[in-house]
Amino acid sequence: MKRRHTHASKDFNPETLALGYGYEPTLSEGAVKPPVFLTSTFQFQSAEEGKAFFQLAYGLREPNEGEQSGLIYSRLNNPNLQIFEERLAAWDLNEVGATFASGMAAISSTAFGLLRPGEVVIATSPIYGGSHYLLEKILPRFGIECRFVDAGDDAAARIAEAAEALGPERVRLVFIETPANPSNMLTDIRAVADVCEALTAAHDRKVYLAVDNTFLGPIFQRPALFGADLVIYSATKFIGGHSDVVAGVVTGSKAAMMPIMEARTILGTMANPFAGWLLLRSLETVSVRMRRQAKTAKALAKMLQEHPKVTRVNYPTLLPEGCPQRALYERQCTGPGSLISFEVEGGEAAAFKVLNSFQICRLAVSLGGTESLVEHPMRMTHADIEPEILITRGVTPGLIRMSVGLEHLSDLKQDLKHALKQIS
Ligand SMILES: Cc1ncc(COP(=O)(O)O)c(C=O)c1O
C-alpha cells in the first residue's frame, strides 16, 4: 500500500504539521487520529508493486519521477512510525527521520551505519553515560577508535587538534551532546560543523556531525540550522514526554540517513507501531509542554542559586551576561529547557539526604516527562564513567540533576525548600 497525505504541503509551522501532516483519515474509516497499525506485514496490490517497493527500499534502483516506496514490513516501515518521522523531520528542518526502539538504539545504529574498522569518532564529554560506554567500550571491539574532548568553549578547536593527532583522514564521525547531560555545558554546533566541513574538503571523504538534541529539541534548538548532518534524540524524554515509552529518533538528509536506515533494517532496531502511536500523540503537545516546563525551571533555578546550601547551579539563563557560554546560548538556543543540575554542600552524603527527602519530585532517572524527576548523576545515570573523569567535567559527588515537570511552581518550590532543609 502507498500512504496518502492530507496536508500535501510542508509549508505550515511544525506545531500545525504535528496535528495533521502525513495522515489521510478517509483511508482509516474516517478516524481523525491515526489508529495503531499493529501489523507486521502489508499486502501488495500486485507482484510488480512488491518488486518495485523492494527495489526502492533496498536502493537497488533510483526512483522514477515522484515514485515512493510503499509499505512492506514493519521492520522496514510502518505508518505510525512514518507519520511521526515526517512530522519530526519537518520540525528539525531535515528531509527524513527514522524511529528506533530507544535513544541508544538510535545512537548505536548511527554508529554501526556510518563507521568502519580503522575509522575514528571524536566526541565531546560529558555525554549521557550509555553513549559514553558505547563509544569507549563497545566500538573499539569493532576496530573503531574513539577520542573524547571536553565539551564547552573551544570544543571545536579541541576536536580539530584531536583529528590532527589521530589522523584526519580516519575521522568519520563527530558526536556532540549540547547542552551536555548533566552539566548543561554548551558546545558551538556551527564551529564544530566548520571543522567537519574542513576535514571533509581536505580529505575528500564525508565527516558527519551528529548532535544529540535530547535536552532542547525539537523546540529550543534546531542543529540543522548550524550545519549538523544528523540530529539524534532519546524520544523517551521530551518527545515522548509522559515517561510511558522508550524510543529514539534520528533525522537528517536522505543521503546521510541511507546507511542509518540500512543499519536499522538489518539490525532490527526500529520502534514498534504502538511506540510510534504514543510518539504521535505526544508530538502534538511537545511545544506546549516544553515551554511551560522551561518557564517553571527558570524560576526554580533562580531560587536554587540563592539557596545557602547550593554551591553551583547549571542552567542557561543563569550564565553571566557577556561570557562565551551566554553568547553561545543566545546564538544557538531559543529557550533554556527544563534540566537543572545543582551542587549541594556536603558531597554525596548531603546529596543523598536531599534526594531521599523530596515529596513531589520522584527519585528516578530519565527526564523530560510531565512529572519532575531527581537523580544523582555520578552514582546513577553516569555510573559507568570513572568518578575521577566525571569530577573534571563538573559532575561532582554533590551534584543533583532535576528534570522539571508540569506540577505547579509553588508546589515545586516548597518541595525543593523542604528537601534542602534536611541539610541546612
Ligand atoms: C542525552 C541522552 N541521550 C541519549 C539517551 C539514551 O536514550 P534511551 O534511554 O532512550 O536509550 C539518554 C538517556 O538518558 C540521554 O539522556
Q: List % helix, strand, coil for the chain (3-state, nearest 5).
A: 40, 15, 45
Q: Is the CB of 243 under 6 A from ligand 1?
A: no
Determine which residue's CA is closest to atom 15 belonging to ligand 1.
Answer: 128
Average pLDDT (10-20) is 90
- Is pLDDT above 90 for 4? no
pLDDT confidence band for 9 (50 / 70 / 90): low
What is the reported pLDDT for 184?
97
Running DSSP on this structure, what letter comes out for residue 225?
G
Q: Pocket of ligand 1, candidates 181, 282, 366: which has the most ligand atoms within 8 Å of its Cβ, to mutate?
A: 181
SS3 127: coil
What is the reported pLDDT for 68?
83
Q: Is the CB of 236 under 6 A from ligand 1?
A: yes
Running DSSP on this structure, what letter comes out for residue 255?
H
- Is pLDDT above 90 for 8? no
Of the candidates 190, 178, 223, 125, the one whose C-alpha atom is nearest the C-alpha of residue 316 is 178
Quote the CATH superfamily of domain 288-421: Aspartate Aminotransferase, domain 1 (3.90.1150.10)
Taking the CA of residue 105 as reference, the ligand 1 atom at the shortest distance is 11
- CA of 327 relative to ligand 1 center, distance in Å: 27
Query: Residue ranges per domain, the chain?
Result: 79-283, 288-421
- Is pLDDT above 90 for 141? yes
One-character DSSP codes across 235-251? TTTTTT-SS----EEEE
Q: Is 362:371 a contact under the CB 8 Å cutoff?
A: yes
| C-alpha cell, 314 | 547549571
| C-alpha cell, 355 | 534526594
- CA of 230 relative to ligand 1 center, distance in Å: 16
d(CA 159, CA 44): 49
Q: List all residues 6 or more positions away from 224 whose beta carbon is below 8 Å from its beta carbon.
A: 92, 93, 94, 231, 251
| C-alpha cell, 248 | 529514539
Using alpha carbons, list the distances in angstroms from residue 177 to 54, 162, 293.
35, 17, 21
| CATH class of the domain whose range is 79-283 | alpha beta
Q: Is 385:419 a contact under the CB 8 Å cutoff?
A: no
What is the reported pLDDT for 123?
98
Determine which residue's CA is closest to atom 14 belonging to ligand 1.
Answer: 366
What is the reported pLDDT for 330?
98
d(CA 361, CA 373): 5
Mean pLDDT score of the chain, rounded to an integer? 96
Question: Is the four-CA dihedral 372, 376, 380, 385 of positive or negative sign?
Answer: positive
SS3 403: strand
Determine which residue's CA is closest to atom 16 belonging to ligand 1.
Answer: 128
Average pLDDT (179-208) is 97
Q: Is the CB of 112 under 6 A from ligand 1?
A: no
- Is pLDDT above 80 for 270? yes
Percent of the chain with pLDDT over 70: 98
User: β-pairing, 171-177 with 120-125?
Assistant: parallel
pTM score? 0.96
Q: Is the CB of 212 under 6 A from ligand 1?
A: yes
d(CA 2, CA 68): 8
Q: Is residue 179 within a helix (H) or strand (E), and if so which, with residue range?
A: none
- Is pLDDT above 60 for 329? yes
What is the reported pLDDT for 361?
98
pLDDT digits (tens, 9 = 90+) for 161-174: 999 999 999 999 99
Q: Which residue has the higher pLDDT, 69 or 416?
A: 416
Q: Is the CB of 181 under 6 A from ligand 1?
A: yes
- CA of 254 relative to ligand 1 center, distance in Å: 24
Q: Is 69:53 a contact under the CB 8 Å cutoff?
A: yes
Q: Pocket of ligand 1, candidates 234, 382, 402: which has the most ligand atoms within 8 Å of its Cβ, to mutate?
A: 234
